[in-house]
Structure 1
């Protein structure tokens, strides 16, 4: 299998699936954690926690199609397409079942994966996830507009990009909770200099967001989490997807556990890596992996058809 080295601390491995290059990091041994990054990021977003988690688990952190070192083709960038891609990558690597951990957009992929492939999902852990409420940052909504690609082409010209990134880092240095995530935003901004990456990101966002906000939610299928352990971790100062969305989990999936981290933004795994890794470990060790039963899945689906309409995701304040 071809291999290369990434700027990250871990070796990046490459494999071709359906004619497209897929990059991933695989570290450790034990039960498998599949870590799915967010929009415009790659596997390196998990760097602060990979080694900690690898002490007990096999950590598999791929670059999603259209991101990082994975290919950026004209392709299916829907949630379903990404879920299929993760299934196929796991199959190629000889991995049967995983606890899937998804951050931001990766949380939407994680939910879709657990829905499409419950027989391969042991647990579901969402981190500052999409799909739990309608609101999202105006910057994300702007990607859906017709002028996005041209405007970003100008904004990522070398001189303009360097000034823009410097400005973001200066704002980050103010120490305000509202600017906590700007270093990560600057890193994502840098990736947009690649026109292929810009095309991919536009297709990704248009599949899940319109000018009013998120259009894909788990509300109509949340009852299926009765068959699978689920947890949610959020940063209280998240400026990308509001922390109040974590409160919606109580209505959507009452059996789930929710943890809100103080002094953390949209990337709680980077703001508090030790605590995050400890929370993941506690969740996995204190729950039994889901066991797929076609009869139970059928009963849940039939019950869902007769149940009351799913709750509306609203702007409920967290406790």
Structure 2
């Protein structure tokens, strides 16, 4: 396992928790952004596969160990926080990686501040599909992310119970090992027997409204001024045979300025959490560096 440290970075509203894997001089930096109900340790397997490269993986405001950062949440607010992270670590330019909702954050950040990002690597995210205005955002979230939304209203007597909750998720059936356990543990707050998810429900709802209904967020991937690529998983959020982005969507909706790469044998989660998916993502990040 690589050496790492957890660092606090001051942002508007509080202190952002950042997992930092130091790298070798001159190897470059990857700034990695997680999904809507996740935390920075979703990138741990990728970081392990990027041995020698500096990796910065914040817990976004309202998640993980940043769950008490105050203020509203949006793609623009996260983009501001990313700049604070880069400045805190004295990184002038980084390769920006975003998984799921982190891809939308990445598009907004890279469009707004192209001088700070060498390239953008989107991992099963960043390409928008608006939802009807009359649909309640909680309905949308339950339909799309399912258990990741349900967990917000649940308590767990111990960590084993939380691990078992995710082990029953179809997309997590083959996700085991220390990386996955540490990722799940970082999502827990409270004391036994009253453990609950660290994700702040209001932050998830605010981000979902922004991610799924803001035309400027949808437009960001089409207005990038840095080189970008999109890695899209074969299977979906619940391990469905068709992924979040069906081939027809990639063919018709992905902008020609963004290189697209199909990643077989992985779902929306295992593309970053499983060794094979993480190795593929890391290979693209090394190429971007």
Deviations 1:181-220 (A, max 9, x none): 4667x949857925772333233223323xxxx6557553
Give the structure with higher Rg (CA).
1
Structure 2 equivalent of residue 127 of structure 1: 123
Question: 8 Å contact 2:7–2:19 — kept in the other structure?
Answer: yes
Give the CA deviation at 1:23: 1.1
The offset of 1:110, in angstroms, is 0.3
- Indicate yes or no: 2:267 matched with 1:265: yes
* Residues 1:99 and 1:190: Cα distance change in structure 2 (over 3 Å): same
Kindly indicate whether the alpha-carbon contact (under 8 Å) linking 1:131 and 1:217 is maintained by their aligned counterparts in 2.
Answer: no
Residue aligned with 1:239, SS: coil
Q: How far apart are 1:100 and its partner, in Å?
A: 0.6
Look up the match of 2:96.
Answer: 100
Contact 1:234–1:246 (8 Å) recurs in 2: no
Map 1:33-52 onto structure 2 (within 5 A): 33-52=30-49
Provide structure 1 residue ranges, at least 5 long, that are not aligned to the other structure: 1-7, 145-150, 173-178, 286-319
SS in 2 for 1:119: helix
Partner of 2:257: 255
- Which structure 1 residue ranges, 4+ long, deviate > 3 Å from structure 2? 158-168, 181-184, 186-192, 214-223, 245-252
Following TM superposition, by how much is the alpha carbon of 1:59 offset from its aligned partner in structure 2, in angstroms?
Answer: 1.3
Q: What is the Cα deviation at residue 131 of structure 1?
A: 3.6
TM-score, scaled to structure 1 = 0.67
* Match among 197, 205, 208 for residue 208 of structure 2: 205
2:192 corresponds to? none
Q: Is the 8 A contact 1:156 1:190 kept in 2?
A: no
For residues 38-97 of structure 1, the C-alpha deviation after alignment (integer angstroms, 9 at most, x for no partner) is 112111111111132132x32111111111112424412011111111112212221111
Alignment of 1:1-319 (within 5 A): 10-18=4-12, 20-27=14-21, 28-29=23-24, 30-55=27-52, 57-134=53-130, 141-142=140-141, 155-158=153-156, 166=164, 168-169=166-167, 171-172=168-169, 179-181=170-172, 187=184, 193-194=196-197, 197-209=200-212, 215-216=214-215, 219-225=218-224, 227-239=225-237, 242-244=244-246, 247-248=249-250, 251-267=253-269, 268-271=271-274, 272=276, 273-282=278-287, 284=288
Q: Which residue matches 2:146? A: none
Report how far residue 127 of structure 1 moved: 0.4
Change (3 A) 1:123 1:215: same
Distance in 1, Cα, partners of 2:64 & 2:218: 31
Superposed CA RMSD: 3.7
- Cα distance, 1:65–1:222 mapped onto 2, change above 3 Å: closer
Q: Secondary structure at the match of 2:244?
A: coil
- Point out the more displaced range, 102-111 or 159-168: 159-168
Shift of 1:163: 6.7
Rounded to whole Å, the distance in 2 between the matches of 1:131 and 1:71 is 26
Structure 1 contact 236–261 (Cα < 8 Å) conserved: yes
Whole-angstrom CA distance in 1 between matches of 2:162 and 2:197: 16
Tell me if the contact between 2:187 and 2:199 (Cα under 8 Å) persists in the aligned partners: no
After TM superposition, give the deviation of residue 37 of structure 1 in Å. 0.7
Distance 2:247 2:91 in 1: 32
How many residues are aligned here? 257
Comparing both chains, which one has the higher relative contact order based on Cα–Cα distances under 8 Å and sequence gaps of 6 or more? 2
Distance 1:26 1:167, change over 3 A: closer
The 3-state SS of whatever aligns with 1:54 is coil
